[in-house]
Structure 1
């Protein structure tokens, strides 16, 4: 549960709760119980916070329950008080005798009076606590002897005013001991995917490839299981129907618990460990001894092992012959589940078998169609193991590598392709294997080696398989895009045109060719590229993979509405598995960021981070924090934004991934702008361009052009920014409306005199403003400021009001505050109302308030948002004071007022400047 250096993994909030309890006992009571399943990390968590390091000033007294000592009276109490028993003489003689007599340390032959004994324990603890606070820690409290439990229950009820706290650790499912009832409970659940991955990667023997994924799956977030599975030596990774092995010491320990069970129960347990779906015919009485032994739980005829390690121990404690027999029984019982049946047939065999190999290949194809790439690749790898013919084995291994390449398991793909090279010398098959290897390496730190491998493979495959030749160049184009180097981009385009000439005409639509041309230069022949993308989007037969790929192309061409519509057709929540490779999962988030769906962008970033944590190596982890940083910066959460952006920069070197570097720099610049630090903002935006004024990244650097000009204008660096704008003007002018709007905005901010107004209007007139609301509102705000400073307040007010409406709707508070200030200076005051208060809510609170205003109950809202009714009620409780309401019935007025706002702005003293307006005006926002 800890990394090197003792740092806890994934328990920050729980650790803070323990710290708060230890430092301030009595705020929420003097007793706290920590519960959780075996191995979940209860002891590690408590030890990390109450290990009595120097300077804490707390005296820790410990006891640990033991199954073997449950029948020994006061065994736990003796363990607890032993360090301070020497101070017992300070107690009154009768109490001291009762206390020592309970432990057989007194000459008094009589049994101690129970009340006096309890008072003596409380008195001794109170005496010790006079010098410094006392913390009682009881581990495995469910196994304490009853006499100790009774004493602690007496003490726990009398701690008010004392400097004594009691921390009990209880196994989940066990009844709480008497001293722990009716007190706060901290329940430890499994580690999340990210924390589990970090803990696993911190082990001395770091698992990779499919084994890493298997451990994460079977451990179910249990820290002990993660550590023990990583510690064992599986040799060749077991197949999916074979549980992971344990270290010998653990296997022997569990085997001892199995030895006392009836034979029928042991056989049933082995069958359940092999496949829980194959035990439907086992009578309930057969399971009962295993339930009583705490090995399994049976609910509604479903058998579940009480701990991930128990299943492994049951399976591997059986001899190989019995395990193979169990697989045969499972195969016979699962005739209606052909995929699982094939796996069990493979596990039941003892050597090559072409008929079973064909079954496994069929299973792989079925699984691959459902999107289970890892499972399909494993099935093909198993099919290859069962294949007698060497060339056929190489073919199946190549197919396995192709399916494994997008999963992020690079070491696995390299292992598969290395085996292909040892099995055959067919140049076409070897070229296909090289393509798989290059695709796997494309999003790793070894992308520099992948690029020439892919371009060489494209040439090798062109005469034999033009489609895969283009796929090789398409992957090279992905490397080129994330690298962002214009020289490499030009080289790749030349390679593509040579290859396209050699291949000849391709069937339309040609996704690979369209991807290569778009990823290398979205601005070149923008109209033709966009027509091709729209042709792909119109295909009725497009599946989720093609829809996601087409959405990515639309994003590159700044067609956000089309991209978002395609992502919506893919369906599912951001947390669901994505049809995109892990390295491209954030594309949907960048689309949502520009489109104004910021909550969804953050959800995509979180899901992408979780997916990146599962990859090997987790190289794609740099993009999610860059995306999250961008959203946080625009919302004015500048501290977290900077932390996320710096995390992204730490995870990726600039030369390897200029895309993420430029995105992170932009987020840092927007955070600095939100804080009013225009010098730092300029420095960050300037870092998106080279010293000569070229783009650091040939595509995304252009999106910082307007913000660079804004910062330069604020700090008097116009000439420097003008040189960059002039250098990029020719490349940008013929591209997307978004890039043209950026260019016009930059020119407006850097222009002198009336020329600025022309450029502002050009920026506002570019089509697609609804696809980039924040950027459009920036231009409205800046044009409104420019007009007001020239005493044209009447023309400025609608622009400023429109900008404010957008900023408030998006939650971009720093920009909303600036728009309000400009409106006040333009002679507009804001009426107070619910509208001003809505930005104070979190995005989830705004969503809940909106649904509640429509009359939905907490349960109905929870079903829509996948929250519990209690959580919904908690959010509403915290939202009411922010909105200035006291009843649910008032929410409709708040929301309706936000939508229409008929009297939001009213003209006040505006002066008599040009176009200032002489009569009261109202501008709907």
Structure 2
């Protein structure tokens, strides 16, 4: 049996596309409640290419042989007379081939495992013959995923339905409730359901209107035995008592590890079932590990067992484990689940053992220690430490739940301040940034009397949250020291435009990453050996139960604050010294947090080379330390640095990886920034659909969480795509609100970057008078010396607006300045505009030279539509048409070429989508266009064409 796991929406569209043309056979499976029946009904209702035979199987026990097959054929208005299974299978194949002669046929059999064995054998035989003969008939057969596929169907390819993504699950909640659900309640529902549609609906039905609106407390646990049992139904009916004990012990063992499986020998010894053969069909044994075929079923087994039986299973497991290493932590966890009330001594043991535990066990040990702790201060401390571990692992909703639990008992201000500092960090990575700012400010107030250093970090983090929200006044307020040592409090210099007080060289990607605003709120998480610093605010050592105020290197933090504040005041001369010290300090070690601050400061200074170096070192350090939650931030800095350097394809590579890691670690705000980078890169390459997809994704989170910076970048990308497609009026209309004064102006640190596009768009749209004020503002920006591209861009903007006698000189000066910076795209844009200007003045030979340079520059950086503009202008100027091109593949856009090459390497559409950080539907769309452009009809022909191009060198 072969198989793959695919998301349901993508699966349906991909399947239907294939079934309409070539047919295919698929056994569709998944855990109980995954929506197999709904999947099949949607597929049957959406198939328009030909007839559909659709039946739901009934139990075959006691039914005559071939009764299931006859039910299918009667539903299709056909009959088959056959003496045996093989004959029946061949007869069914003949019927399928005949029915699909005029148009493709789709056969849907729901719950095919319920058919009698003879019918299953006939169906399996016919399906195999359909596959081998290439008959244009599609067969979709659903079977449950909590048991092995019947041998009659085991040779057929299997599609396993993925759980709903958190985004899809959240949309289901909103659809079912009419949007009348509190966001925090929605998060809890999505987390408890773990992507299972039936369980999600059951949990929604379980809650009252007041609970859905967040006005009453939710039941605990939210997904209890009744809810889980209602979804799993009769999946465990008829399990013998000896097998039932083994199942409960396995479920208890999995609960302790937090992994999908557990040590098989341990489970058998604890259950006293060493000789049990065969295993229950709901369990799978592989490489000494035991797991449930359906994780939901394991949850149901545990939740549905009486409490005393659960405690007995944990006692037996604890008795079979040693008291050392990871086994010792597991033994303590199992003992903790035998307790029926507070157990201070056991809680202390768990908290101490956490320091020598792997990260996953460390979080679980700290959580159980908190639950068993009676003292309010100690309880809050342990919940906060567990929340830090949850955030490190990328589980933001869990971190927030643990922080809520930390609030449940009174605690000293220092403890509450530490929890609020961490809450702010959680929200900054994955929540409304205004809420993050308020949490940081609350933390600063709570910590002001007991820990000045931690309070200072909280205010810096509040400034970062205000920065992300596009609120310069709040940002400056947070950075204001009652007695600042380095930065005066006077207003910005007179040359700073009154409507742009916060123009900064940092531009994109330079918001600070203070120790309080890293992936875990500045928590230095100890490794397996237990070493590590403390958490700011509370001073708690996350690796164990020790306390002590974290040592804070106040110099670099103060320098970063002073540099940021100077930038916000427009005093770039006073910003350089502190920021340079931040850069040097970060690069002097291998701690990822200071390295991230170093990258941020380097971007503010316009030192792109150093920013790339610091970002790369931060990424390597995060990976070495296992700080997976820091990786998306490091990749974000790398992507922004590459954009600033004009290396858009490298930026795209970093952003694609950053998006995957941000999604995996639950950092939606960071993911939004990566979507914005991908939109900007795609806007250069001319992939309008890809731009639109990433813009929409960035704006969904940006608008929901108040990310003004990501929203501005995404809108700029959409406008640049319009400009590349030859739609200057649309680009000007989109950019106007971003760059002009007013309530809709873009983020204060980003809008200036869009000015060159706005000037070009307005001039090409015949509205040059709209651009004059923006160019004067851009002059101030370029004078800062922090953006390597800005001086050449400024000269290009002035040339676009200048009189003919001055424009010529300005274009030439702009090209000279481009020689000082890397990147082909901006230089090629200047060459293109200069070439257009020359052609309209009938200086055709000079125009052709400039346009030829522009064409080559755009081709080097993969700017397909921009290259088409240059080629069209060149032909209009009398240039002879070029050669047919570098082979057939030269007719593809850069994104299409990437997809074609990955498909030729044998990647599935889903694998291509994951590698490019786009949806499978987008890959399907592009692949259809690739087939049409190249005149191929199958993947086999595409592989052959790509291979020939690579052998002959005929490729772009």
Shorter-chain TM-score range: 0.7 to 0.9
| Residue in structure 2 matched with residue 35 of structure 1 by the alignment | 28
CA contact (8 A) 1:586 1:605 kept: yes
Which of 337, 340, 363 is residue 347 of structure 1 equivalent to? 337
Instruction: Please name the residue that 1:908 is paired with.
Output: none
The residue number in structure 2 matching 1:922 is none
TM-score with structure 1 setting the length: 0.73
Q: What is aligned with 2:611? A: 563
| 1:1-43 Cα deviation digits (max 9, x unpaired) | xxxxxxx993234212443466x4xx535x6333334445443
Cα gap change, 1:158 to 1:483, in 2 (>3 Å): closer
Instruction: Indicate whether 1:886 and 2:948 are aligned.
Output: yes
Q: Aligned partners of 1:460 and 1:272: how far apart in 2?
A: 41
Distance 1:130 1:361, change over 3 A: closer
The structure-2 alpha-carbon separation of the partners of 1:522 and 1:840, relative to structure 1 and needing over 3 Å to count, comes to: farther
Q: Which residue of 1 aligns with 2:587?
A: 538
Q: Deviations over 1:632-690 (max 9, x none)?
A: 22111123423442454454449933312321221121111122111111112212123
Residues 1:14 and 2:11 are matched in the alignment: yes
Corresponding residue of 2:886: 834
Identify the match of residue 299 of structure 2 among 309, 312, 321. Answer: 312
Residue 699 (structure 1) shift: 1.5
The alpha carbon displacement at 1:713 in A equals 1.8
For the residues of structure 2 that align with 1:568 and 1:84, how far apart are their CA atoms?
62
Q: Given that residues 656 and 915 in structure 2 are in contact (C-alpha distance below 8 angstroms), is that contact kept between their aligned partners in structure 1?
A: no
Among candidates 262, 273, 282, match of residue 295 of structure 1: 282
Contact 1:589–1:601, Cα closer than 8 Å, also in 2: yes
Q: Distance in 2 between matches of 1:756 and 1:113?
A: 88
Is the 2:479–2:561 contact (alpha carbons within 8 Å) kept by the matching residues of 1? no
- Residues 324 and 549 of structure 1: is their aligned pair in 2 closer, same or farther, counting only changes over 3 Å? same
- Give 1:324 shift: 2.9
- 2:265 maps to which of 273, 280, 291: 280
Structure 1: which 5+ runs fail to align?
A: 1-7, 89-94, 100-111, 899-925
C-alpha contact 2:252 2:310 (8 A) present in aligned 1 = no
Correspondence for 1:781: 832
CA contact (8 A) 2:647 2:823 kept: no
Aligned-residue offset at 1:294: 0.7
Does the 8 Å contact 1:65/1:139 carry over to 2? no
After superposition, give the CA deviation of every residue in 1:305-345 in whole Å (9 maximum; x if it has no partner).
22213322443436133133044236437645555455344
Shift of 1:513: 2.2
> Higher relative contact order by CA 8 Å / sep ≥ 6: 1 or 2?
2
Q: 1:229 to 1:166 in 2, by over 3 A?
A: same
Q: Which is greater in Rg?
A: 1
Correspondence 1:387-406 to 2 at 5 A: 387-400=373-386
How big is the shift at 1:552? 3.5
Contact 2:106–2:139 under 8 Å retained in 1: yes
Change (3 A) 1:250 1:666: closer
What RMSD, in angstroms, separates the aligned Cα atoms of the two structures?
5.5
Judged with a 3 Å threshold, the aligned counterparts in structure 2 of structure 1 residues 490 and 293 are, in CA distance, closer, same or farther, namely closer
Q: Does 1:524 align with 2:495?
A: no
Question: How far 1:545 moved relative to its partner?
Answer: 3.2
CA distance in 2, matches of 1:559, 1:568: 14
Q: Does the CA-based 8 Å contact 1:246-1:309 persist in structure 2?
A: no
**Contact 2:188–2:397 at 8 Å: present in 1 too?**
no
- Listed one character per residue, the Cα deviations across residues 356-402 of structure 1 (whole Å, up to 9, x for unaligned) are 434443455567xx8x5x87565444333333433333333444455
The number of residue pairs the alignment matches comes to 832
Find the partner of 2:754 among 704, 707, 718. Answer: 704
Distance in structure 1 (CA, Å) of the matches to 2:444 and 2:290: 52
CA distance in 2, matches of 1:629, 1:450: 26
* Structure 2 residue 242 is the aligned partner of structure 1 residue 261: yes
Which of 339, 357, 361 is matched with 2:347 structurally?
A: 357
**Alpha-carbon separation, structure 2, partners of 1:728 and 1:658:** 20
Match of 2:115 among 134, 144, 154: 144
Identify which of 135, 142, 151 aligns with 1:169: 142
TM-score normalised by length of structure 2: 0.71
Relative to structure 1, is the Cα distance of residues 602 and 505 closer, same or farther in structure 2, using a 3 angstrom cutoff? closer
CA distance in 2 between partners of 1:747 and 1:400 (Å): 57
Tell me how far apart the structure 1 counterparts of residues 664 and 570 of structure 2 sit (CA, whole Å): 31
Please give the residue correspondences for 1:111-122 in structure 2 after superposition, counting only pairs within 5 Å: none
Alpha-carbon distance in structure 1 between the residues aligned to 2:22 and 2:949? 29
> How many angstroms apart in 1 are the aligned matches of 2:948 and 2:666?
52
Describe the SS at the equivalent of 1:834. Answer: coil
Query: Which has the higher mean CA deviation after the structures are superposed, 772-781 or 119-128?
Result: 119-128
Partner of 1:912: none
Contact 2:348 2:369 in 1 (8 A): yes
Q: Map 1:783-862 to 2 at 5 A.
A: 783-786=834-837, 800-822=851-873, 825=877, 830=882, 834=886, 840=892, 842=894
Are the aligned partners of 1:196 and 1:226 in contact in 2 as well (CA < 8 Å)? no
Partner residue in 1 for 2:160: 188
> Residues 745-776 of structure 1: CA distance to partner in whole angstroms, max 9, x if unpaired?
32232222444355445544558955544234
Q: Which moved more, 1:705-714 or 1:579-588?
A: 579-588
Distance 1:192 1:384 in 2: 31
Whether contact under 8 Å (1:654, 1:661) holds in the other structure is: no
**Equivalent residue number for residue 77 of structure 1:** 69
Note if contact 2:29-2:159 (Cα within 8 Å) is conserved in structure 1.
yes
Decide which moves more: 721-730 or 754-763.
754-763
Identify the residue that residue 59 of structure 2 maps to in structure 1. Answer: 66
Matches within 5 A, 1:382-781: 382-400=368-386, 416=402, 420=406, 423-424=409-410, 426-442=412-428, 446-451=432-437, 454-455=440-441, 457-458=443-444, 461-494=447-480, 506-508=554-556, 510=558, 513=561, 516-517=564-565, 520=568, 524-525=572-573, 527-540=576-589, 542-571=590-619, 578-580=628-630, 586-595=636-645, 598=648, 601-602=651-652, 605=655, 622-653=672-703, 656-691=706-741, 696-738=746-788, 739-760=790-811, 762-766=813-817, 770-781=821-832
Q: Sort the Cα spacing of 1:659 and 1:130 in 2 relative to 1 into closer, same or farther, 3 A.
A: closer
The alpha-carbon deviation at position 255 of structure 1 amounts to 5.3
Q: Distance in 1 between matches of 2:233 and 2:8?
A: 31
Moved more, 516-525 or 621-630: 516-525
Return the offset for 1:232: 8.5
Say whether the 8 Å CA contact 2:311–2:337 is kept in structure 1.
no
Q: Which shifted more, 424-433 or 285-294?
A: 285-294
Secondary structure of 2:337's match?
helix
For the residue of structure 1 that corresponds to 2:28, the secondary structure is strand
Contact 1:357/1:387 (8 A) holds in 2: yes
Deviation, 1:475, is 1.8
State whether residues 669 and 682 of structure 1, in contact with CA within 8 Å, keep that contact through their aligned partners in structure 2.
yes
Compute the displacement of 1:813 (Å): 0.7
SS across alignment from 1:332 = coil
138-147 or 676-685, larger mean C-alpha shift: 138-147
Distance 1:315 1:404, change over 3 A: closer
Aligned counterparts of 1:186 and 1:416: Cα–Cα separation in 2: 39
Which whole-Å CA distance do the structure 1 matches of 2:204 and 2:570 have between them?
Answer: 46
Q: 1:246 to 1:325 in 2, by over 3 A?
A: farther
Q: Aligned partners of 1:694, 1:50: CA distance in 2, in Å? A: 47
Aligned to 1:109: none
Alpha-carbon distance, 1:74 to partner: 2.9
- 1:291 and 1:298 in contact (8 A); partners too: no
